Structure 1
C-alpha cells in the first residue's frame, strides 16, 4: 500500500475506529446491535479495525490468524457476512474521506490512490468472504450434527422398556432420523416395548402421523411393541378429523400411563412399599 495511505491509517486508527462504530451502528439491523453489549461491540470492532491494519502492514500470516479468530467470533455473535463486508467498505470510505479533508488527496493523485485502494482491498475482501464462509459452514455443520444427536434420543428407562421423547416439528429428514434411532436402539437395548412420547410435538398432521405409523411398523418387525404417548385432546381431535387410523398402535394420553402399560406387557407392575 502507498506510504501516504499507510501512514494516515496508522496515525488516525483510534479516530477511524470511533467513526466506524458510529456508522456501523446506524447501518446495522437493530436486532444485531441489541444482541451484543456495547462493550462487546466495541471490542469486536476494535479487533476488526486492528485486523485490517495488520493487512495494511503487509503481515499476511498474522492477518490470516486474526481473520480466523475474528470470523469465529462474529459467527457466534450472529453478524452476517453482509455486515462484515459493509464494514470493510465503510473503513475504506472513512480513510478516503479523512485524507481528502486533510488535503492528502488532490486531483492530481486521486486516481492513483483509488487504484491503490482497490488493489489492496479487493484481495482482502475476498479473503474475508472465504474465511467467513468456511467458518460459517463448519459451525452450521457442527450444529446440525449436535441437533441430530438430540433430535430423537432413545432412552432406556427400565429393562426391556425404552422411551423416545419428541419435541418440536417433525419433518421428513427428522422422521428418517427417528426411524434410524428407533431401530438401532431397540436392537441395542433389547427392548420389548418402545414408547414414543409426542407431548412436545405441537402439531400432528397427516404426514407426521404417517411417519409415526411407519416407525411403529418398523419396530414391530424387529420384535418389539410400539406405544404412542402424550396424545393431548386437541391432537386426538385432529387425528379423528383427518381420518388417521392408529388402530395398530397402542395409545396413551400420558407418558406415566404408557410406562404403567409397558410394565404390564413385560409382566411387571409398580408396587407401593409400606413404611
Structure 2
C-alpha cells in the first residue's frame, strides 16, 4: 500500500508526543479530573498511546484485522471506569486536535477534503472501539451480576461438616430461590451435617422471609442435615412473635458463636481451651 495516500499517517507520526500531551490534558479537563485522581498520569498516557498505535497500524495496514487489539484496548478502558460518553467525547477531541493542527493554513476546499479522508481512515477505528467498548461493558456487567448472585447467598465451610450461610440485606423471592439452591448444593458438596443460616445482616424478617427460611430448613433436613437459624436480634424476635410466625421446627440461636457451639455439639465436638 502507498502510505502517502493516507494524509494522517505522517502527520501523527511526526506530532505524536504533542498530540499525546494535549489529548490527555483535554481528557482530564473533560472528566473534571474524576478519573485522573485515581489513576496515574502514566496510565493515562499509556492508554492514549495504545490507541494511537492501533490507529497508525490501521493506517499502515488497513487490510489487517485489528479486532483483538481493539478488544484488549476497550477492555482496559472499561476497567479504568471510563463511561461510554467519556470515551466517545475523548475520541472526538483527538479528531478535532488532529484536524485543527493539520489545517492551520488550509483552504476551505482542502479542509473539506480532509473531513472526507477522516471519515475514511479514522471513523472506522473509532466505531470499532465504541462497539467493542459496549460489548466489553456488557460482558463485565454480566460477570458482576453472576458474582453478586453468588455472593448474595454464599455458603462457607467453617469446620468439618459444618457450614455457615451469612445473609446480608433484604430477601426477595429470587434471592430466596438462590439461597435454597446454594444450601442444597453446599450440603452435598461440603458433606455438611449442620448448616447455620446467619440473619444478623437481614434488616427485616416478615412472614415471607420466615416462610422461605422454614422451607430452606425443611429442604436441608430432607437431604440429611440439620439447620440452625442464628443472629436473631431482639427486635427481630419481637417481630416474629408479633406476627405469630411459628419457628418451632427450626433451631434458633441469638448469635453465630452460640450457633457454632451448638453445631459442634451436634457433631460430637466442643470448643475447649488449651492448657498451659
Same fold by TM-score greater than 0.5: yes
CA–CA distance in structure 1, aligned partners of residues 147 and 156 of structure 2: 17
- SS where residue 108 of structure 2 aligns? coil
Alpha carbons of structure 1 residues 197 and 90: separation in structure 2 relative to 1, 3 Å: same
Counterpart of 1:25 in structure 2 is: 28
Residues 149, 83 of structure 1: CA spacing in aligned structure 2 closer, same or farther, 3 A cutoff? Answer: same
State the superposition RMSD in angstroms. Answer: 3.0
| Structure 2 CA distance for partners of 1:228 and 1:134, relative to 1, 3 Å | same
Is 2:5 aligned against 1:6? Answer: no
* Partner of residue 75, structure 2: 72
Q: Structure 2 CA distance, aligned partners of 1:8 and 1:274?
A: 79
Q: Report the structure, 1 or 2, having the larger helix content.
A: 1
2:254, 2:145 → 1: CA distance? 31
Q: In the alignment, which residue of structure 1 is the partner of 2:103?
A: 100
**What is the Cα deviation at residue 83 of structure 1?**
1.8
Q: Unaligned stretches of 5+ in structure 2?
A: none
Per the TM alignment, residue 77 of structure 1 is displaced from its structure 2 partner at its CA by 1.3
Tell me by how many angstroms 1:238 deviates: 5.0
Work out the CA distance in 1 between the residues paired with 2:111 and 2:90: 22
Report what 1:180 is aligned to: 181
Show the counterpart of 1:119.
120
Cα gap change, 1:97 to 1:215, in 2 (>3 Å):
same
Worse overlay, 233-242 or 11-20: 233-242
Partner residue in 2 for 1:253: 254
Deviation at 1:53, TM superposition (A): 2.8
C-alpha distance in 1 between matches for 2:125 and 2:95: 12
8 Å CA contact 1:204–1:239 kept in 2: the answer is no
C-alpha separation in 1, matches of 2:183 and 2:243: 26
Greater mean alpha carbon deviation, residues 223-232 or residues 149-158: 149-158
Superposed counterparts of 1:22-61, under 5 Å: 22-28=25-31, 30-59=33-62, 61=64
- Equivalenced residues, count: 272
Match of 1:204 in 2: 204
TM-score (norm: length of structure 1): 0.82
Question: Structure 1: which 5+ runs fail to align?
Answer: none
